[in-house]
Amino acid sequence: MLKSKILLVICHLSFVILMSGCATLIEGTKGVVGISTKVLEDKRPSALKQAFNYDYNTCYAKAKDALIVMQCYIYAEAPNKNLIAIYVSKEDTTPVGIFFKAIDNSNTQIEVSSASTYAKESIAQRIFAVISGLPDPIPPVTKEEE
């Protein structure tokens, strides 16, 4: 009788501990699979930022179109986090996060974050130029050039 009560208490405590760490388990699984955005969120305070004279939806669409033209690999879109997570390319799986922040109805700030300074600076330079209507400073490689 005492053993079964002890076992029941242990099971309940195990369940509570497991459930309290649920977010960590989910994020850990995403990390193993390679789709976690946690490092991008953690590096957001040091993100490169620029504001654009576009409403949120237009800015988001222009950024996404620019990323496709730049041949970046979009591996996650998290609208609840205002985030597009990319790899620099299909071959270079350095993660970079593009965060969107509506300043007002006609202005949006884009923040580019990454654990890699080079990737962050490169993607920021390129995406900021393209959204501003300038040519991509580092044009994507075409099949003929390979």
Q: What is the mean pLDDT of the chain?
A: 81
- 49 and 39 in a common domain: yes
Please report whether residue 145 resides in a domain.
Answer: no
Q: Per-residue pLDDT tens for 20-60?
A: 444 444 434 344 334 568 889 999 999 999 999 999 999 99
> Which helix or strand (DSSP H or E) is residue 109 part of?
strand 107-113
State which residues form the domain around 7: 1-33
Q: Is residue 71 part of a domain?
A: yes
Q: Is 112 exposed, middle or buried (0-12, 13-18, 19+ CB in 10 A)?
A: buried
**Domain co-membership, 22 together with 47:** no
Which H or E element spans position 127? Answer: helix 117-131
Residues 76 and 47 in one domain: yes
28 found inside a domain: yes
CB of 77 closer than 8 Å to CB of 60: no
Residue 26 in domain: yes
